[in-house]
Structure 1
Amino acid sequence: MSASRQPVPGQFTLVLHSHLPWLANHGRWPVGEEWLYQAWAASYLPVFAMLRRLADAGMRDQLSLGITPVLAAQLDDPHCTASMHEWLADWQLRAMIAAGDGGPTRHELGTREFVAADAALADFETHWRHGGSPQIRALASTGVIELLGGPLAHPFAPLLDARLRQFSLREGLADARARWAAEPTGIWAPECAFTPGMEVEYDAAGVRHFMVDGPTLRGDTALGRPVGDSDVVAFGRDLTVSYRVWSPRSGYPGHPTYRDFHTYDHLTGLKPARVTGRTVPAEDKKPYDPERVDPVVDRHVDDFIDHVRRRLVDESARLGRPALVVAAFDTELFGHWWHEGPIWLERLLRRLPEAGVRVGTLDSARRDGFVGAPVDLAASSWGSGKDWRVWNGPQVDHLVRLNAEVTETALEAVDKLIEPVAPGAAPGHRGLRNRIADQIVRETLLTVSSDWPFMVSKDTAAHYAVDRAHKHAHATREICDAALRGRTGLAGRLAHNWSRADNLFAGLDARRLYTAAPPEGTGA
């Protein structure tokens, strides 16, 4: 365990990116809503509980927490909250089956899981039954976190039509204001994707800082950097530190003592094994033993703190001024992928100050001057190769073409459906709201989600991803076709039924495609 040590120069910032695609009413198992409920139970519940404890202890500016609008919508959705409650009860039932299925190992597994499910159910009933927004709003008000926003439906922004890209960003920030009564000044752009000129769009939308991957700043992530001629600051992920945790070859979650993510009990779906070894077959993995975990977590906390301290000292010496170290991860790593991750995270945040490390957010880093000289950024992402190949490579060329065709069809239709109130009227004056146009834009944004090409490129439920992209593309085309052929009644019915199917972003207003001013709010 870390002892108190002399302070080191600079600041450490932890950034978490919380995201899942829209899954409600699009299948349950093996891909679909189950994914949401697993992440909710294993990651969002314990991470938020940890943040409440830190806030109660008076700790402030502990991390920058990104929550995408599409995930926020699911955490607030009545169907999702009711189904999550049922899922937690089902977890208890599965644990009871394991406990009563014979044999000391399975009895221990079932008993342990029942206790965990019972605690999760109590937490959910106490804090989450009215959705995620009350939780998020309360945490933000304590100052323990900085909230990061993002565009609607998580598009790969550089490949998106510029008008739709700007609209998606403005609407996403408005959605954050409506849900959380908060004004995010920073964002985690989907996939950390960037193309030159986006900094101007960020500036216009009120974004003051955003995340990129380390190589985008050519590995020099020790300070935030204003981009181009703007005042918008790019912060880069420090890979030297971040990969201590999330490296496929040597990251902490692969330790033999930790619970294995990939090995399931086929009867109950519970996870009974520890990692044991990287090359050990599932059937030969040893039973998970929580009693072995505690000292390993402590060693990994101390190891991470040691690396942060050394990195701050070395980078501050190189710069001749206090440096910044930013470690950034998907929130779902902590608990869902790495079972022990939330325990590690809380111990880390509590011990960093004891170890002489100043902790802050991206916002506090920008305010306190951890910013260097301006830089021109190249096109980039945090995907394979740090370029765009995951989202526009040969394996997803069919989705790239689909997205371009659907976007063109949608924008042409919306341009015809929403006309200026009079010749020469200001761009933002577009008459009455048009629900048909709203749904066309909504389905288009769901079509171009970055999740679908990612899942295809990584061969992770690729069939599901292709099906989802084509389903939303079909909805877009179907509504556009009816509207442009003058079949307004049919177009209205189609738009209404497709809208009911997802119940997503009810406040989206297609008229705001025609204004550069930030929208007032999209609603929940």
Structure 2
Amino acid sequence: MSAQPLPGSLRSCPPVPGLFTLVLHTHLPWLAHHGRWPVGEEWLYQSWATAYLPLTRLLRRLSDEGRSHLLTLGVTPVVAAQLDDPYSLTGMHSWLANWQLRGQEAAVRRTTGGTGYAAPDALRAFGIREYEDAGRALEDFSSHWRHGGSPVLRQLIDADAIELLGGPLAHPFQPLLHPRLREFALREGLADAGQRFAHVPQGIWAPECAYAPGLERDYAAAGVRHFMVDGPTLHGDTALGRPVADTDVVAFGRDLVVSYRVWSPKSGYPGHAAYRDFHTYDHLTGLKPARVTGRAVPSQDKAAYEPDRADHAVDVHVADFVDAVRRRLASESERIGRPAHVVAAFDTELFGHWWHEGPVWLERVLRALPEAGVRVGTLSDAVEGGFVGAPVDLPPSSWGSGKDWQVWNGEQVSDLVRLNSEVVDTALAAVDKALTQHAAVGVPTPRDVVADQILREALLTVSSDWPFMVSKDTAAEYARYRAHLHAHATREIADALAAGRREHAERLAADWNRADGLFGALDARRLPR
């Protein structure tokens, strides 16, 4: 797809006051070794191939042109672990090769009949494009990702192309988590980023943008300077970052007026008729050869995907977004009487995985905004540039349904809330006992792989993904299975330890670690006592 120039009305506009920040939140649960299809590793490989690869590729292009401070990228520790994991890297390479074979199969298939996207000529042309796209992805992966995702992201961090946001291990819903495990997960998550990227993030994407009064003090103690919340948490006034309570920790709110322009619960650019349809498959190859066509059009009646038609829609939506950002910056600056800050924030996986044309749109937007007189920077740039207002007290909140905690502690997931509480209590007691067994006066406590694995499984149990998937009825059965699986692992190891069967506990810990060996530097000795 080749970019078209911005309309003259935007290119000729004078600069607008303020700063625009794009924030992307990259997160998936730990999927390696836990199923393949329809939920499991396939989710990881699809997101990797269609979102993470093209995103880093476009950021490298822009960085090579001398552009910097392009966006703020949140990468959760659990995603970083999977992008570095040798098993996942091997699986990803195989997935890309299989994608190329599926494209080839569609390109050479001999069929008759069919209309729309299923017409023989349309499928063959689509297969050729998919074969070529897969080949480029394979070359990119082999050239840049051979040693995992950390070198790829570190290059962008070192070049000041992006600001990195971190987060706690395994993405727990922090307001509902035991304070000891909450502090441990956050500190270990930041340390994990430091080891992978030689850079400890100064900001975090709080899991689910969840906030409870007092969290800001935990953040300050861990060295976190700023974090994200949703717009309603700041009562809709997101024109400036706001120090929280009596700390210097700044909360930045997602501007829903601009963010919802791209994607909202009801509408957004990806639903345009010209874009590739996410839900319609060619079931022989698993490829997606149709365009949206229309919201009420059944899958079998969808029209064939046309790249040129989609390319034109991308340009229309780039111009629309740039205009929306300009207007929002101007109106918010006028309202508050000083240059304003506008933050648009999205899941990274929207760009490529859910919305095929998303990476192209993103690159064109990042080129078009400065051309249209919009200053682009990161969240750290906003702090350093003084886009910070008066202190504020925040209410309990999240970016989920109702902007409260109901997705994670509502009646629909009350069993998971009880499970999490019981498992965490079990884990903390078991770890305390394990470490006490080693205690001796004047002798440093040695590392304990049993205690480490108990904490690892407990953290996977309390991942915020499982109640989210149940509440939203997206693979709810898989989510419940995963929560109970990790709960069982925690209990099994802890029970063996409690029974005095140390060698058996070590064998169990090693067995579970073969599937759940992420966060190799996790050290139970650092658990707050």
Residues 1:454 and 2:471 aligned together: no
Query: Which residue of structure 2 aligns with residue 483 of structure 1?
Result: 497
After TM superposition, give the deviation of residue 419 of structure 1 in Å.
2.3
Deviation string 1:106-163 (CA, Å, 9 cap, x unpaired) is 1111111101111111111111111000001111000010000000001011110011
Which of residues 69, 73, 76 in structure 2 aligns to 1:65? Answer: 73
Contact 1:419 1:430 in 2 (8 A): no
Query: Which residue of structure 2 aligns with residue 260 of structure 1?
Result: 277
Residues 1:277 and 2:294 aligned together: yes
Query: Which residue of structure 1 aligns with residue 199 of structure 2?
Result: 182
Which of residues 152, 157, 170 in structure 1 aligns to 2:187? Answer: 170
Query: Which residue of structure 2 aligns with residue 465 of structure 1?
Result: 479
Q: Which structure 2 residues correspond to residues 326-405 of structure 1 after superposition, within 5 A?
A: 326-405=343-422
Residues 1:498 and 2:512 aligned together: yes
CA distance in 1, matches of 2:206, 2:12: 37
Deviation string 1:331-385 (CA, Å, 9 cap, x unpaired) is 0000000000000000001110110000000000011100000000111000000
CA distance in 1, matches of 2:435, 2:195: 25
Deviation string 1:305-353 (CA, Å, 9 cap, x unpaired) is 1111111111101111000000000000000000000000000011101
Query: Which residue of structure 1 aligns with residue 166 of structure 2?
Result: 149
Contact 1:406 1:473 in 2 (8 A): yes
After TM superposition, give the deviation of residue 424 of structure 1 in Å.
9.7
CA distance in 2, matches of 1:169, 1:433: 20
Which of residues 74, 86, 90 in structure 1 aligns to 2:94? Answer: 86
Q: Which shows bigger deviation, 72-81 or 246-255?
A: 246-255
Q: Which structure 2 residues correspond to residues 118-267 of structure 1 after superposition, within 5 A?
A: 118-267=135-284
Residues 1:98 and 2:112 aligned together: no
Residues 1:474 and 2:493 aligned together: no
Which of residues 106, 115, 139 in structure 1 aligns to 2:132? Answer: 115
After TM superposition, give the deviation of residue 421 of structure 1 in Å.
7.3
Query: Which residue of structure 1 aligns with residue 113 of structure 2?
Result: none
CA distance in 2, matches of 1:480, 1:294: 56
TM-score of the two chains, using structure 2 as the length reference: 0.95
Query: Which residue of structure 1 aligns with residue 117 of structure 2?
Result: none
Query: Which residue of structure 1 aligns with residue 522 of structure 2?
Result: 508
Which of residues 30, 34, 55 in structure 2 aligns to 1:26? Answer: 34
What amino acid is the match of 1:79? Y
CA distance in 2, matches of 1:57, 1:419: 56
CA distance in 1, matches of 2:207, 2:332: 28
Which of residues 446, 466, 472 in structure 2 aligns to 1:432? Answer: 446
After TM superposition, give the deviation of residue 250 of structure 1 in Å.
2.7
Residues 1:39 and 2:47 aligned together: yes
Contact 1:438 1:508 in 2 (8 A): yes
CA distance in 2, matches of 1:304, 1:238: 13
Change (3 A) 1:114 1:280: same
Query: Per the alignment, in what secondary structure is the counterpart of residue 284 of structure 2?
Result: coil
Residues 1:322 and 2:330 aligned together: no
Deviation string 1:58-91 (CA, Å, 9 cap, x unpaired) is 1111100000000000000001101100100100
Query: Which residue of structure 1 aligns with residue 456 of structure 2?
Result: 442
Contact 1:418 1:430 in 2 (8 A): no
What amino acid is the match of 1:262? H
What amino acid is the match of 1:346? E
CA distance in 2, matches of 1:55, 1:22: 30
Query: Per the alignment, in what secondary structure is the counterpart of residue 274 of structure 1?
Result: coil
CA distance in 2, matches of 1:371, 1:112: 47
CA distance in 2, matches of 1:387, 1:160: 16
What amino acid is the match of 1:228? A
CA distance in 2, matches of 1:314, 1:97: 53
What amino acid is the match of 2:493? I
After TM superposition, give the deviation of residue 500 of structure 1 in Å.
1.7
What amino acid is the match of 1:57? E
Query: Per the alignment, in what secondary structure is the counterpart of residue 369 of structure 1?
Result: coil
Query: What is the aligned residue count?
Result: 512
Query: Per the alignment, in what secondary structure is the counterpart of residue 143 of structure 1?
Result: coil
Query: Per the alignment, in what secondary structure is the counterpart of residue 464 of structure 1?
Result: helix
After TM superposition, give the deviation of residue 249 of structure 1 in Å.
2.8
CA distance in 2, matches of 1:424, 1:92: 61
CA distance in 2, matches of 1:376, 1:320: 22
After TM superposition, give the deviation of residue 99 of structure 1 in Å.
1.2
After TM superposition, give the deviation of residue 470 of structure 1 in Å.
0.5
Q: What 5-or-longer segments of structure 1 have no aligned partner?
A: 516-524
Residues 1:77 and 2:91 aligned together: no
Change (3 A) 1:367 1:432: same
What amino acid is the match of 2:476? A
CA distance in 1, matches of 2:511, 2:439: 31
Deviation string 1:268-318 (CA, Å, 9 cap, x unpaired) is 100011001111111111111001122211110111111111111111011
Residues 1:12 and 2:26 aligned together: no
CA distance in 1, matches of 2:304, 2:476: 31
RMSD over equivalenced CA pairs, Å: 1.3
CA distance in 2, matches of 1:266, 1:460: 21
Identity of matched residues, %: 69
Contact 2:183 2:528 in 1 (8 A): no
Query: Which residue of structure 2 aligns with residue 294 of structure 1?
Result: 311
CA distance in 2, matches of 1:415, 1:30: 39
Q: Which shows bigger deviation, 165-174 or 105-114?
A: 105-114
After TM superposition, give the deviation of residue 4 of structure 1 in Å.
3.6
Query: Which residue of structure 1 aligns with residue 3 of structure 2?
Result: none
CA distance in 2, matches of 1:423, 1:203: 33
Contact 2:457 2:516 in 1 (8 A): no
Change (3 A) 1:296 1:412: same
Q: Which shows bigger deviation, 497-506 or 383-392?
A: 497-506
Contact 1:5 1:354 in 2 (8 A): no
What amino acid is the match of 1:241? V
Which of residues 52, 58, 70 in structure 1 aligns to 2:60? Answer: 52
Query: Per the alignment, in what secondary structure is the counterpart of residue 327 of structure 1?
Result: strand
TM-score of the two chains, using structure 1 as the length reference: 0.96
Deviation string 1:453-474 (CA, Å, 9 cap, x unpaired) is 1111111111111101111000
After TM superposition, give the deviation of residue 430 of structure 1 in Å.
6.5
